[in-house]
Each structure stands twice: as structure tokens, then as C-alpha cells.
Amino acid sequence: MNRPERFERLYAEVRGCERCPLAATRTCSVPGEGNINAEVMFIGEAPGANEDKQGRPFVGAAGQFLDELLGHAGLDRSSAYICNVLKCRPPNNRDPLPDEIEACRDYLDEQIDLIDPLVIVTLGRYSMARYFPKQTISRIHGTVKEVAGRFYVPMYHPAAALHQGGLRQVIIEDFRKLPGILQRARRAAGAPVMPGLAPPPAAPIVAARPAAPPPPPIPDDEPWEYEDGGADFDGEPPMEELAVAVEPSPTAPLRQERGAMPAEAVASPPRDAGAAAEPAAPPPAPTEESTAPGPTPSRIPEPITQPQIRLFD
């Protein structure tokens, strides 16, 4: 079984998971998405309301800021991998409970082993506590911890900037450190050191589900309903009870196989050389009915029962 197949098996297991009571309250589980050859992996805390509806991580206001932050680091969603400590949304975006984190631990461990990233970036206190016990995010954000050739970087959750505007520039500056951190990680792993953050080799989307119109994001006037729940503010207590030891990944040889490889373009099937191109049909002439102004139809997205999964090999 190759890696994309193993991911599909894992995602199918997460979608049907009933290991904890969150299975009874979720709309969609949120396994994660991104490039399975990614050198940088981002681990958030838990899905929020928008993620629960779409089955994808970071798709609301915090996700829009994360997209901006990835740009500051020379990355995007197709070159990184993004997931959460919890795969289901806690009710009302409350903090994750220890037994919920433990129920999802095997899923996250397998994702890390399959991707074997050079750099893991934790977003928020609960993912930070996995690698930085007895620490606070306000004290160690943007610092680096190296274990067995892998670099761990704790950062504020993007949602923190939505509620404390003064943290926005702090988070941006932390993300701007990632290119240099990745270069150090490549040297430590013996991988080729390339200028900038060249994306890993891309490939067609694996097992993509039919696209559906996304639901409107939750208004910002609901202060505790933000994506990947959990408060990421200064002065939060450390999460000692959630800390676990960091062990070397058993798939470390995968790092030696990475290098500067050309991205594979996803192209349409080639047209038969002997077939003549079909002329484009002329546009229909406007009629009185088509040109007459009318009420704007309301768009109410239907519930999504089959989340879209994006994996890039």
C-alpha cells in the first residue's frame, strides 16, 4: 500500500471515528489536507464551526489569515500540510479535553509518520503542549526546538490575532522566520539546501470529492466562535497534563529522498492530433426576459455530507 492509499485509509477511519463523544455532535470530521511530501507541517488545535461544515481545516476568518501567513513564509496550501490535534469540533468551540486529545493521538501520530516533515509548526497552546511541556505560548513563540533532525516551532494560533490586534504583526514576524528555519532543518537532515522555500513536487489531487459552495463564514461578532477553537492569548497557563515525549520518527529515511524536484503539471488529456477543433457556439441573443432586472436569488448552501479531501503527492 503506497502513501496516498494509506492516507485514504486513514481518512476513511477518521470520517467514521466514534472513539469519543464528539462523534455524536460533529457534522464532518476534519482529517487534514495538503502535500504529503511537505517539508513543513502545521498542527492546529481543533476544528471550528466552518471547518465542521466543510470537513476542511482553516476555512474561516482564521484560515484566511493563515493563507496570508503562509505567503509570508513562502508557502501555500499545496506545498504544506495542515491538520489539527482534534479531528472533530468540540461543542461551542470549547477547549479540547484530555480524553479527546488522547482519542485522536494515533491519527496525528500516523499523519506525522507518513509525511515525516522537517519542520513542525504548532498553532496554539494545545498542539504546543505536545512538544513544549510546562511552557506558555507568550514566552516561547517563534523559538526552535530540534529533536533527531526535526525542528519544532511553537506559534500563536492565527485566531489570536482576530481578537488581539496587537498580535497580528507578532505572528507575521514569526512566520517570516520559517524560510531560515527550514534551511537549518535541511542541513541537519542532510537534504539539499535550496534558495528560498521551493514547494515540494506536486501531483494531481488524490480522491477529491465534488466541490460544493462553501457556507458563509461566521460573523466576527460571535467572539468565541472562531476556527480551530482554543484561546491563544498572553498569560494562559501551561498545559502540562497534555505533554508527551518527542521521539524520532521511524520514517526518517524519507527525508533523504526529498530534494529539488520539478513540479509535475496537472494537464488536461491531450487532444487527438487528427481531430479538428470544434467551433465555439455563438452566445445566445439577449431577450427582454434575460435583460429585465429581477430579484437576486438567495444562495443557501446545502449541507455537505461528503467533505472534500485534498492530498498532493
DSSP 205: B
What band does 221 get if pLDDT is binned at 50, 70 and 90?
Answer: very low
Report the distance separating Cα 210 and Cα 275, nearest Å: 30
Average pLDDT value for the chain: 76
234-239 mean pLDDT: 42
Cβ-based burial of 293 (10 A; exposed 0-12, middle 13-18, buried ≥19): exposed
Report the distance separating Cα 118 and Cα 200, nearest Å: 12
State yes or no: pLDDT of 245 exceeds 90: no
pLDDT of residue 191: 74
Task: With respect to residue 63, please indicate whether it lies within any of the assigned structural domains.
Answer: yes
What band does 190 get if pLDDT is binned at 50, 70 and 90?
Answer: confident
State yes or no: pLDDT of 184 exceeds 80: yes
Give Cβ neighbours of residue 37 (< 8 Å, ≥ 6 apart).
Answer: 115, 200, 201, 258, 312, 313
C-alpha dihedral sign at 202, 78, 83, 245: positive
Task: With respect to residue 290, please indicate whether it lies within any of the assigned structural domains.
Answer: no
- Residue-wise pLDDT for 135-181, tens only, equals 999 999 999 999 988 999 999 999 999 999 999 999 999 999 999 99
More confident residue, 167 or 273: 167
282-288 mean pLDDT: 52
Report the distance separating Cα 177 and Cα 184, nearest Å: 11
Sole residue written with cell 508557502: 75
More confident residue, 292 or 125: 125
Q: What is the largest CA-CA distance in the chain?
A: 71
What band does 237 get if pLDDT is binned at 50, 70 and 90?
Answer: very low
Count the residues in the chain: 313
pTM to 2 decimal places: 0.69
User: How many domains does the chain contain in total?
Assistant: 1
The helix or strand, by DSSP H or E, that contains position 64, with its residue range, turns out to be helix 61-72
What band does 106 get if pLDDT is binned at 50, 70 and 90?
Answer: very high
pLDDT of residue 313: 55
Task: With respect to residue 131, please indicate whether it lies within any of the assigned structural domains.
Answer: yes
Task: With respect to residue 282, please indicate whether it lies within any of the assigned structural domains.
Answer: no
Task: With respect to residue 86, please indicate whether it lies within any of the assigned structural domains.
Answer: yes
Task: With respect to residue 288, please indicate whether it lies within any of the assigned structural domains.
Answer: no
Residue 155's SS3 state is strand
SS (H, E, C) 26-61: CCCCCCCEEECCCCEEEEECCCCHHHHHHCCCCCCH
Report the distance separating Cα 75 and Cα 164, nearest Å: 25
13-24 mean pLDDT: 97
pLDDT of residue 1: 85
More confident residue, 240 or 62: 62
Q: Which domain holds residue 133?
A: 3-266+300-312
What band does 281 get if pLDDT is binned at 50, 70 and 90?
Answer: low
pLDDT of residue 292: 46
What band does 130 get if pLDDT is binned at 50, 70 and 90?
Answer: very high
35-47 mean pLDDT: 97
Domain with residue 241: its CATH number is 3.40.470.10
35-60 mean pLDDT: 97
The cell numbers describing 107, all together, are 491519527
Give Cβ neighbours of residue 124 (< 8 Å, ≥ 6 apart).
Answer: 44, 45, 137, 156, 157, 160, 228, 230, 232
Task: With respect to residue 137, please indicate whether it lies within any of the assigned structural domains.
Answer: yes
State yes or no: pLDDT of 182 exceeds 70: yes
More confident residue, 222 or 285: 285
State yes or no: pLDDT of 306 exceeds 80: no
Residue 230 exposure: Cα atoms within 13 Å on the Cβ side: 27
